[in-house]
Chain A
Amino acid sequence: AQSVAQPEDQVNVAEGNPLTVKCTYSVSGNPYLFWYVQYPNRGLQFLLKYITGDNLVKGSYGFEAEFNKSQTSFHLKKPSALVSDSALYFCAVRDGGGSSNTGKLIFGQGTTLQVKP
């Protein structure tokens, strides 16, 4: 069965420092991976996705993610954190991988990112 794990409930970083939010996955077949961000009292916003191709994926707001097949990881990164990046971040994997015909996503439990001035 497909699954996603976000091992950290919260990540704290100082403004201007690089940030990493971790995600590991377990899928059968090719993994289709996504990152979403949720600001307080808002819906989820799409940041980036990995379907195929380059292992480094660039997304919105200066975020990027590195796909590592051998470590089954898809960590979210940003070179220089902003206070406004403080939010809840979700990693997700397409249920069924490349063979899925339903589009369902399986979400990790979320990681709260706190960027301090």
Chain B
Amino acid sequence: NAGVTQTPKFQVLKTGQSMTLQCAQDMNHNSMYWYRQDPGMGLRLIYYSASEGTTDKGEVPNGYNVSRLNKREFSLRLESAAPSQTSVYFCASTGQGLRTDTQYFGPGTRLTVL
């Protein structure tokens, strides 16, 4: 069981470039989430997918898009990267019992936008 995996681990982009962050989980979880972590601000939810086929905006969705490709995979796309999107990005998933289940996190992607 790999849990939640993310690729790439590190990425440097120039302003205006695009990229897709990949996330996959092998725990048969229904719900998946994308967060960004910035110093002193905790984790902020970008987008989430409560179940396969659905996606919804979180607290900070501007500049991002997501795709729930199937039950396992949930990708995050930056269409035109900006320096303000320099951050560490975490993917997480949770199981059937949404009210009580724990979220499990991937190792993160460190993104720098120059």
Contact = CB atoms under 8 A, between A and B. Distances in A.
Contact of B42 (A42, A90, A98): A90
Interface residues of B, number: 27
Contacts, number: 67
Contacts of A42: 107-108
A113 to B, nearest CB: 15
A55 interface: no
A109 B31 CA distance: 23
Interface of B: 4, 31, 33, 40-45, 48, 50, 56, 58, 90, 92, 94, 98-108
Given A44-B90, A51-B99, A98-B99, 19 more contacts: A32-B99, A34-B102, A36-B105, A43-B4, A43-B108, A46-B102, A46-B104, A49-B100, A90-B42, A100-B98, A101-B98, A102-B48, A102-B56, A103-B33, A103-B101, A103-B103, A105-B43, A107-B42, A109-B42
Which 8 A-B residue pairs are closest in the complex by CB-CB distance?
A103-B98, A107-B42, A43-B105, A44-B105, A109-B42, A107-B43, A43-B107, A103-B94
Interface of A: 9, 32, 34, 36, 41-46, 49, 51, 90, 94, 98, 100-105, 107-110
